[in-house]
Amino acid sequence: MPQPLIERYRDYIPLEPGDPIVSINEGSTPLVEAPRLSERIGAKAYLKIEGANPTGSFKDRGMTVAVSRAKGRGAEAVICASTGNTAASAAAYAVRAGLTGAVIVPEGKIAIGKLAQALIHGARVIALEGNFDDALVIVRELAERHPIELVNSVNPYRIEGQKTAAFELIEELGGPPDALSIPVGNAGNVTAYWKGFQEWDTSPILYGFQAAGSAPLVDGAPVANPETIASAIRIGSPARWEEAMNAFNTSRGRVAAVTDEQILDAYSWLASNEGVFCEPSSAASVAGLLTHGLQTVDGMDKPETVVCVLTGHGLKDPDTALGTAPPVINCVNDITAVEHAVFD
Ligand code: F0G
């Protein structure tokens, strides 16, 4: 049975002595070789399957720590703004901790599976007439006014939990990969990976990818009305902007944009060539490598190993899958008709 992440990396997680461990056995996710992707990019590629976390995304790594600390300090409720995955994770960990949860999501802009998760876990789900950035402003203010714990990645305990993914990579590969490719939204996860790599004295090249319609870090300015099919990273004003840019610069990597078309191509290609079904936002990490290659600065050696972080499970967003994949073949109840349907 997988160990709770907090126990596996206890020495690196700054919880207080009396804090409970609120866990659903997150972390320790599979690292999978991707032979066909390796061929396409000319380097050994691995996929870090973060969709294998209990609620289907990397958010659980941060949530176990943030909610454990919240419970330890006597909080009774947690709140977050979310494009969906943080909401699902906060809702589940709130249940484990016996806390109430409230989540604010952009109305009509979160994948249906994530909405189902937040609701079934009993969180109060508020659909805001606004985007993620608007929701984040509101929850920050609410957390100032009320005794409720903010569990967005502006909460430092989220970063402390999420950095453990870097530790797992180093342990599993027997050292850091040469490069890491990661989708970027609010920029908490890239900040966390960089912290983890640095704490273990490593510094792989970080490649971050944003969706072209929501690429403030690439544009160098906030985006007022971010748009993209990759709803999880539909964010115009990342909270951890400076930390993320510092990570890209210090690691001698870069942040670049990928179009929705490139994201969807990578998304279906991964499912039909590597047997891995991730959500569209996650596929930005692969789309970025396919589009921009493994770029280096100052005559550095080209990376020989690269890990793509697949941040969330494909089942989160069945609408995009059904809208992208070939249709079902309807068939009458007759052996010959079925024979044609299968073999023609
Ligand atoms: N991939 C997925 C599947 C996500 O859900 C997110 C963020 C990201 C990538 C980007 O990570 O924000 O740390 O740069 N989702 C947040 C949410 C915003 O509310 O679920 P980031």
Could you read off the pLDDT of 58-83 as tens digits, one per residue?
999 999 999 999 999 999 999 999 99
Which residues in the chain are classed under CATH 3.40.50.1100? Answer: 5-56+157-323, 59-154
Q: Per-residue confidence at 340, pLDDT binned at 50, 70, 90? A: very high
Beta-strand runs (E) in 86-166: 100-106, 124-128, 149-150
Beta bridge partners of 312: 57
CA distance 133 to 234: 9
Q: How many CB atoms lie within 10 A of CB 238?
A: 28
Q: What is the CATH number of domain 5-56+157-323?
A: 3.40.50.1100
Q: How far is the CA of 232 from the centre of ligand 1 (A)?
A: 5
**Which residue lies with its CA nearest to atom 10 of ligand 1?**
185
Check residue 300 and give its pLDDT.
Answer: 87
C-alpha torsion sign, points 179, 170, 154, 148: positive
What's the pLDDT score for residue 192?
A: 98
pLDDT at residue 298, rounded to an integer: 79
CA 110 to ligand 1 centroid distance, Å:
12
Residue type, 65: V
Cα 186 to ligand 1 centroid, rounded to whole Å: 7
When pLDDT is averaged across residues 264-290 and rounded to a whole number, the result is 98
Q: What is the mean pLDDT of residues 302-314?
A: 98
Average pLDDT over residues 307-318: 98
Q: Is the pLDDT of residue 163 over 90?
A: yes
The contacts of residue 238 (CB under 8 Å, 6+ apart) are 184, 185, 186, 187, 216, 217, 244
Q: How far is the C-alpha of 136 from the C-alpha of 159, rounded, in Å?
A: 17
Split at pLDDT 50, 70, 90, the class of 1 is low
| pLDDT the model gives residue 260 | 98
Compute the distance between CA of residue 239 and CA of residue 150 in angstroms, rounded to an integer. Answer: 13
DSSP 8-state class, residue 211: E
Site to probe by mutation for ligand 1, drawn from 79, 83, 155, 308 as the one with most ligand atoms within 8 Å of Cβ, is 83
Range 59-154 classified under CATH 3.40.50.1100 = yes
Q: Give the pLDDT band (50/70/90) at residue 299.
A: confident
Closest residue to atom 19 of ligand 1, CA basis: 82
- Cα–Cα distance measured from residue 106 to residue 126, given in angstroms and rounded to the nearest whole number: 8
- Residue closest via CA to ligand 1's atom 4 equals 232
Task: Give the percent of the chain with pLDDT over 70.
Answer: 99
Q: Which residues contact ligand 1 via a Cβ below 6 A?
A: 57, 59, 82-86, 153, 183-189, 232-233, 279, 281-282, 311-312
pLDDT band at 136, cuts 50/70/90?
A: very high
Q: Whose CA is nearest to atom 12 of ligand 1?
A: 186
- Length of the chain equals 344
Q: Which atom of ligand 1 is nearest to the CA of 278?
A: 3
The rounded Å distance from CA 206 to ligand 1 centre is 17
Interatomic CA distance for residues 269 and 248, integer angstroms: 27
Which of 37, 51, 54, 94 lies closest to 290, judged by CA?
A: 37
In this prediction, residue 47 carries a pLDDT of 99
Q: How far apart are the first and last CA of the chain?
A: 45
Does 153 have pLDDT greater than 70? yes
